[in-house]
Amino acid sequence: MVDNPLTLDPELNSTTVGSAQGLYGVASRSEVAFVQLFNFVFTADGGEYRGSTVTVLGHNSIFADGTREMPVVGGTGVFGFARGKVHLKTYSFNTTTGNAIVECDIYAFHY
């Protein structure tokens, strides 16, 4: 289970706009990969996306080179019925703590 800060930039001191909440489990016998389900929950005061969510579900090969892609499978609020994709890129990874900062660009649209 995760409940991580969602920030504008991939820096720990960046402005928090919500949280990435969800779960993941190991999903491969041959690589370090997860099946992940998480919601980007937007909570920024006064923001047009406050109270809205984007839902992502899919396979994530976390140590793959470059950018990884996962599908957007839904959302709420201004992202109601969203479809699209997210691009993930590991910005930093601490091998001692296992903590990572992952840059995520959302390409979502809704009907």
| pLDDT at residue 111, rounded to an integer | 57
pLDDT tens-place string over residues 6-58? 999 988 789 999 999 999 999 989 988 999 999 999 998 878 999 999 999 99
Q: pTM, whole model, 2 decimals?
A: 0.87
pLDDT tens-place string over residues 68-100? 999 999 999 999 999 999 999 988 888 898 888
Does residue 77 sit in helix, strand or coil? helix
For the sheet with 33-42, list strands across it: 2-7, 16-26, 33-42, 53-61, 68-76, 82-93, 100-110
